[in-house]
Structure 1
Amino acid sequence: MPYQENREFQSVLDELDQCAENGQPFAIFRKPDEKKVIAVIQKDSTKYELDFNTQGFVFAPFNWADNALLIKADKVECTEYMDASLVQQSTRALSEKGRVSHINLVQKAIDEIEVGSMEKVVLSRKIEEPFNESAFTVFETLLKSYGSAFCYLIYHPQFGFWCGATPESLVQIADNRIETMALAGTLPHISGISPQWGTKEIVEQEMVSTYILEQLSDLTDSLTLDKVESVRAGNLWHLKSSVHAVMAKDTTIDQVVSALHPTPAVCGIPTAKAKAFINANEGYDRTFYTGFLGEINISGPSDIALYVNLRCMKLERGIATLFVGGGITDASEPEKEWIETQNKSRTMLNILLDDI
C-alpha cells in the first residue's frame, strides 16, 4: 500500500497526466539520494530553444545543436516521494536479437582504433520491448528502484514520453563553481563481491578523466581531480572520479557545456572522429539517448544541474525503446562488449512489468 505521505505526489502525477492530455510539456525529476521531487510545467505547447538564462528544464539530443528543447518553468511543483516497498525484478529473458550485427560493429571499431583513427568510441544499440503500464507507473518504479540515480519522466508533444535513471552527471554549476565527473567502465554487481577491474576499464576511465581536464583547463581556475572510486548504479559498478573547478572570468555556461558534451563516456576520443564513426555506422538515430537533461535556474539564478541521458527509454504506444552501449578501445573483445550491453539492459528491463 502506498505511503500516506505520497498523496501529494500522486496529486502532482494526476496534474501531469492532464497536462499530457492537453499537449502541455512537462518534466518531473528527483536528484540522486534525495526525497524531493520537482515538476516543471509549461503553460502551452510552444517549442522553445535552449537558453541558459531562462528558468526551466532542458532536454537535448546527442547531436545537441539539433532540436535542444527547453520546457519553460511556467509552474513548478515540489513534493516528496517515500516508499519502502520492494520492487519485483523483471524476469524477462534477454533477447539475442542484434547480437551478430553489434559484434561486427564492435570489431569494425577495433580495426579503426588499431590503425590510429581513434583511441576510443562508444557504440550503442536499441531494444524494443512491449509494456502495458502508464508512463507515470514506470516513473514511480524508477524512483523506488534507483535512489542514487537522477530519475526523470519528461513529456513533450514533439516526441512523447521519455524516462530514465542516469548515474552520470554532466555538470553542476552554482555560484560559478563547477562539479562534474569522469565515469567509465562497467561490471555487473554481485552481492558480497567487490568489483575486480581489468586493465581495459582502468585505462578507459583514465582516458575520460584526462579528456575532461583538458577540455576545462582554459575555461576554469582551481581545477582538481579526485581519486578514482568504484560506484554502484543499480545492478552495475562503474569507475568514477569527481572533478571540481571555478569558472574563469568571462567563461559562459554555454562554453562549459559545449566543452563537456558529448563526453568520452558516450562518444569517444577524439570527439569529432568518434562522433563521425557513430553517425556513419550505428545504423539508427540516437536522438535523446546520450544527450543531456536537467534543471536550469530553478534552484536559484545561474544554478545549473545537468545529467547525461543514460539508462533511459522512450515510451510510445505500448512499446518501450531502450538504449544500451559501451566504450570500445583496442583492448575490447567483441563478445564481451555484447555481454556488457546485455547486462546494462537489465537496468531498464527490471522496471517493466512482465504481465504483458
Structure 2
Amino acid sequence: MRESYAMYRLPHADQFTVIRQTSGEPLQLQSCAELAGVEGFVMAPFEISARNPILVLKPDVIEDVQLSEEEQVIGAMLSCDCDEEERLSYSRDFDIFHRRLVCGDFGKIVLARRHDMLCDSQISPERLFRRACNMYPRMFVALVSTPVSGTWLMATPEILLEGEGRHWHTMALAGTMKLEGQQLLFDIPAGSRNDNGSIEWSEKNRCEQRIVAKYIAECLGKYSDEMVENGPYKSRAGNIVHLRSDFSFVLRNGECIGNLINDLHPTPAVCGLPKAETYGFIVKNEHGDRNYYSGFAGPWLKSSRSHLYVSLRCMQIEDRRYRMYAGGGLLADSIEQQEWDETEAKLETMKGVFG
C-alpha cells in the first residue's frame, strides 16, 4: 500500500514540515462542514465526491526539516503531449462558457485546463518539492501523496483560511498579469502599493478582483461582526502578479468554522458567481476533471495555528507523466487568446521546477 504523507513549507519559512500517516488510510469526508471536528493535514478537491473525497492525513509522525539553499537544476528532457487538441479543447470550452457570460447568466466564471508533459526519466517528487520551495519563497508549497489522491505538488499564493480559535484571516486574490523584462527585477511584497509605475491594471482585472472581494466580505458577514478589509494590493507569485485584498475577522462562534469553509469553497477566484450555478456548469461542461486542483490543502490543527491554501499552480505526478493545471476568470468582455496566454503564464510556475 502506498504510504500517505505530506510535505509543506509556509511562505518565507526556512524549513518545511513532513507529516506521515504510518497506519491505515487517510480519513475521507464528504463535506467541508465535517472539518470542524477533526485535525491533520487536509487535501480537498474542487468537486467533493466518492472518487475525490476530502482527505485528512493523521499526523502519526511530524518532522521539521531545514531547507538547503542549494538549488540544483534538474535538467530533465520533457516533451508535451497533444498540444493541438489541448488548444482546440480550450477554444471549445471558452465559447461555451463565454456565451453564458454575454447573455448575463453569470457574472464571472473560471475556466481551467490541463497540460501533460512526459519526462525521459523518473524524478523524485521530493526533489521537485525542494526545488519549488527554493524557487517560490513567497508561496505555500506542498507535496501530498495518498493511495486515494495520488501524488500532487503545488505552489500557491492564495490563502483560503488561516488562524486559530476565533481569530482568522482570508484573502481575495484575482486579476492576473505576467511580469516581463524590467518588471521581473522589482520585488513586490504583499501589501505593497509600489511597483515603480510598471504595472497598469486593466478594468477587466480590477472588476474580477472586486467580484471576488465582495463575495468573501458577504460570506464573512454571516459569521463575524468584527471584520477588517485591507486592499486591494499587488501581490507577486513567481513571474505573475495578482490583485489581493486581506480580511481579518473574529468568529461569533468558533464551532461554526466548518460551515464557513463550506461557504468559502470554492471561492469565486476558482469558480464564479453566482456560485451554485457556475459550480454546476463547470462540473458538467469543463473539458477534463479538475480533481484536486482548485480545492484546498494545508495543516488543520486544534492546538495551534491552521493554514489552508487554495490548491493553485498544481502538478499531478504519475511515474514519468506530469499533469499540470491552470485556470483563469472569464468576464463578458474576456478575449480568448488573452485568457489562453494567462493560463500559459500560470503553467510556467510548475514547469519552472524542472529547470
TM-score range, shorter chain: 0.7 to 0.9
1:58 is matched with 42
- Calculate the TM-score normalised by the size of structure 2: 0.87
Task: Provide, for residues 280-303 of structure 1, a one-character-per-residue CA deviation record: whole Å limited to 9, x for no partner.
Answer: 211221110000111011xx5263
Matched positions, count: 330
Task: Provide, for residues 31-56 of structure 1, a one-character-per-residue CA deviation record: whole Å limited to 9, x for no partner.
Answer: 01111211111111323124443331
> Residue type of the partner of 1:118?
F
Q: How does 1:43-192 map to 2 (within 5 A)?
A: 43-50=22-29, 51-64=35-48, 66=50, 67-85=53-71, 95-131=83-119, 132=121, 133-192=123-182
- The 1:313–1:121 alpha-carbon spacing in structure 2 relative to 1, beyond 3 Å, is same
1:39 is matched with 18
- Calculate the TM-score normalised by the size of structure 1: 0.87
Deviation of the 1:221 alpha carbon: 2.2
Deviation of the 1:160 alpha carbon: 2.2
Deviation of the 1:195 alpha carbon: 2.2
**Identity, % of aligned positions:** 32
Q: How does 1:1-356 map to 2 (within 5 A)?
A: 23-50=2-29, 51-64=35-48, 66=50, 67-85=53-71, 95-131=83-119, 132=121, 133-193=123-183, 194-249=198-253, 251-297=255-301, 301=303, 303-352=305-354
8 Å Cα contact 1:89/1:351 also seen in 2:
no
Task: Provide, for residues 176-228 of structure 1, a one-character-per-residue CA deviation record: whole Å limited to 9, x for no partner.
Answer: 11100000011111243332210000000000000000111011121121021
SS at match of 1:243: strand
- The 1:87–1:182 alpha-carbon spacing in structure 2 relative to 1, beyond 3 Å, is farther
- Distance of 1:278 and 1:302 partners within structure 2: 35
- Distance of 1:197 and 1:89 partners within structure 2: 35
- Distance of 1:159 and 1:317 partners within structure 2: 14
> Residue type of the partner of 1:126?
R
Deviation of the 1:258 alpha carbon: 0.8
Question: Which ranges in structure 1 are unaligned for 5 or more consecutive residues?
Answer: 1-21
Question: Which ranges in structure 2 are unaligned for 5 or more consecutive residues?
Answer: 30-34, 184-197
- The 1:88–1:159 alpha-carbon spacing in structure 2 relative to 1, beyond 3 Å, is closer
SS at match of 1:227: strand
- Distance of 1:157 and 1:47 partners within structure 2: 9
> Residue type of the partner of 1:63?
E
SS at match of 1:197: coil
Deviation of the 1:175 alpha carbon: 2.9
1:4 is matched with none
- The 1:89–1:226 alpha-carbon spacing in structure 2 relative to 1, beyond 3 Å, is farther
- The 1:45–1:76 alpha-carbon spacing in structure 2 relative to 1, beyond 3 Å, is same
8 Å Cα contact 2:47/2:283 also seen in 1:
no
8 Å Cα contact 2:166/2:254 also seen in 1:
no
8 Å Cα contact 2:168/2:248 also seen in 1:
yes
> Residue type of the partner of 1:114?
V
- Distance of 2:312 and 2:203 partners within structure 1: 24
- The 1:337–1:96 alpha-carbon spacing in structure 2 relative to 1, beyond 3 Å, is farther
> Residue type of the partner of 2:202?
G
Deviation of the 1:141 alpha carbon: 1.1
8 Å Cα contact 2:78/2:117 also seen in 1:
no
> Residue type of the partner of 2:111?
L
8 Å Cα contact 1:90/1:349 also seen in 2:
no
SS at match of 1:46: coil
Task: Provide, for residues 157-188 of structure 1, a one-character-per-residue CA deviation record: whole Å limited to 9, x for no partner.
Answer: 22321111011110102231110000001111
8 Å Cα contact 1:36/1:78 also seen in 2:
yes
